[in-house]
Structure 1
Amino acid sequence: MTTSSPGTRPAVPGARGSDLPRQLTVTVCFIVCLVGSMIGVGVFGGTPIAQAAGGALNADATYLAPASGAFSIWSAIYTGLGAYTLWQWLPSERTSERQRSLGWLVAASLLLNAGWILSVQAGWVGFSVLVIVALLAVLAVCFARYSRTPARNWIEAVVVDGTLGLYLGWVSVATCANIAAALSDAGWNGFGLAPEVWSITVLAVVAALGAALAAYGRGRLAPAAALAWGLSWIAVSRLNGELPSSGTAFAAVAAAVVVALAAVVYRFIGRNRIPAAATARR
């Protein structure tokens, strides 16, 4: 059995291998992802995502499509990913067990992000579902890993935990919208059920998953904030867009409230457990 001395972190999965290749890979992947995002918004002449693939992913394509304002969250996510890329080059982080555990996964997420944009640009809506599901899985593993060990300071909490939390929360919503778009594009009839029934069901599942994330992460705010943000913009789209659905809008708002409350409750419970555990050891 091995023990860790006070002030040191326990070993975590993935903490092995050379550090420099990991740092370089994260940096290169971030640049690739940034270029891909610029293509995705039409900076280099590419078709904006909302107009690509015949408009399969625009705000009025399905009941689960968020309004265009929702995508402004990418500014915060990309800023955070840029900060993370710089952060992992700090001498104190080069051999950090936490960064060794996360670095390769973050690099993979950046490539998958760029791959998703290119697949949509190519009109491969079905294939884009496979890419975004893989991206969601990678971010979920990141969440599981960084949730096991606390950040050493508030800067790391913002740059690492906050960034990856926003990333996970938003991609969770985007995955639902992407799957709905692919099914609609393929002409799926929903087994004869009304689209609103499916949208409300999916939103209920998202609310449950958001609560589960809050429980596992002991009330981490970033994933909940991104989830609530995306859900709220689905409501906006269904109330003000060309595909109105008051039932879907109500379900989206309810789901956002459940996710936010779950994060607050589990954060409060988690903070109270620490003093209680310290008292019990005295």
Structure 2
Amino acid sequence: MGTDRRPGRADAVRAAAVLLAAVLQIVAGALGGTGAYGEPIGTVANSYPHPLLPAGTAFAIWSVIYVWIVALAVRQALPGQRSRALHRATGWWLVAAGVLNAAWVLTFGQRWAVVAQVVIVALLVCLGAALARASRIPAEGWPDRLLTQGAIAFYTGWVAVATMVGAVTTAVSLDAPVNAGVAVAVLLVAAVGLAWAATSADAVLFFAVPVLWALFWIGEATGDTAVRVVVAVVAAVVVLAILRRVVVAGRSATRRRIVWG
């Protein structure tokens, strides 16, 4: 089961830290979402309107992410899982991601937009590192695919788009002129990054679903036709990048790893 050595104290500490970080994200999300600490996240976001701000329904995805990450955290904390190479490779990156996610909620709720943007970039880096490390270790059955590679890829896909949207929100908070032309330019840059991610990591289906979800709700909310068209183009680029990678993959086992982890 990918075990390098017998479980030790370091494994127990790491497993506990991943579980605590998962819970911390939920607590911070509840505080920030309701306005129990700072202003509600939705209120702050809507006070900086721009063409790439998704409709509010998009953010319901956080509930899925939180439940999925808790499931990952519980599984990796089981005695038979703690010393597996997969969990050792990703654990501390997930701890950092959990702390950074909580920090983003709390700083954004205080309208510290620039600080929050720095934090979410760091969050994306940590999740990207966790996904890259998970992609180098073959999954050992569907529990790995669903509860480790899948969870990390799904989380990373959402945060990738959230980082793009956050950059524009930060610019608006600084009174920078953000019009449809700027939004289109940001989307085109994002298309390159998202396509690269879709052709680099495994479990690309899990990565693509939140990306396409976010893009759909951006297109739904924007009132600019040009932005809506470019959003559709970005979505198509992501899908085509994934399809091309799957088609050119050789063995069926390789295809399965690329798609599911």
Length-normalised TM-score, structure 1? 0.83
Distance 1:261 1:59, change over 3 A: farther
Q: 2:163 is matched with which residue?
A: 175
Contact 1:228–1:257 at 8 Å: present in 2 too? no
1:67 aligned partner, one-letter code? A
Indicate whether 1:40 and 2:32 are aligned. Answer: yes
Q: 1:231 is matched with which residue?
A: 215
**Deviation, structure 1 residue 135:** 0.3
- Distance in 2 between residues matched to 1:60 and 1:42, nearest whole Å: 19
**Structure 1 unaligned residues grouped into runs of 5+:** 1-6, 239-243, 277-282
Contact 1:215–1:263 at 8 Å: present in 2 too? yes
Distance 1:21 1:219, change over 3 A: closer
Match 1:81 to one of 69, 82, 87: 69
Contact 2:65–2:151 at 8 Å: present in 1 too? yes
Indicate whether 1:115 and 2:103 are aligned. Answer: yes
Count of residue correspondences:
253
Q: 1:48-81 deviations in whole A, cap 9, x for unaligned?
A: 21113xxxx1287111111111111111111110
**Deviation, structure 1 residue 257:** 1.8
**Structure 2 unaligned residues grouped into runs of 5+:** 256-261
Contact 2:68–2:147 at 8 Å: present in 1 too? yes
1:182 aligned partner, one-letter code? T
Indicate whether 1:143 and 2:164 are aligned. Answer: no
Distance 1:18 1:219, change over 3 A: closer
Q: 2:13 is matched with which residue?
A: 21
SS in structure 1 at match of 2:111: coil
Q: 1:241 is matched with which residue?
A: none
Q: 2:242 is matched with which residue?
A: 263
Match 1:102 to one of 76, 82, 90: 90
Q: 2:206 is matched with which residue?
A: 222
SS in structure 1 at match of 2:40: coil
Q: 1:166-195 deviations in whole A, cap 9, x for unaligned?
A: 1111111111111111111111136xxxx2
SS in structure 2 at match of 1:91: coil
Task: Please list, as runs of the form range in 1=range in 2, the aligned pairs for 1:172-251 lying within 5 A after superposition.
Answer: 172-189=160-177, 195-217=179-201, 220-238=204-222, 244-251=223-230
For the aligned residue pairs, the C-alpha RMSD in angstroms reads 2.4
Length-normalised TM-score, structure 2? 0.89
Q: 2:22 is matched with which residue?
A: 30
Higher helix share: 2
- Distance in 1 between residues matched to 2:39 and 2:254, nearest whole Å: 54
Distance 1:159 1:43, change over 3 A: farther
SS in structure 2 at match of 1:61: coil
Contact 2:25–2:101 at 8 Å: present in 1 too? yes
- Distance in 2 between residues matched to 1:130 and 1:179, nearest whole Å: 9
Contact 2:48–2:172 at 8 Å: present in 1 too? no
- Distance in 2 between residues matched to 1:61 and 1:236, nearest whole Å: 14
Match 1:49 to one of 41, 46, 52: 41
Match 1:132 to one of 111, 116, 120: 120
SS in structure 1 at match of 2:80: helix
- Distance in 2 between residues matched to 1:135 and 1:114, nearest whole Å: 10
Moved more, 20-29 or 35-44: 35-44
Q: 2:142 is matched with which residue?
A: 154
Distance 1:101 1:19, change over 3 A: same
Identity %: 29
- Distance in 2 between residues matched to 1:59 and 1:49, nearest whole Å: 10
**Deviation, structure 1 residue 87:** 0.8
Q: 1:214-271 deviations in whole A, cap 9, x for unaligned?
A: 2112562111111111111110011xxxxx1111111111111211222233123225
- Distance in 2 between residues matched to 1:20 and 1:10, nearest whole Å: 15
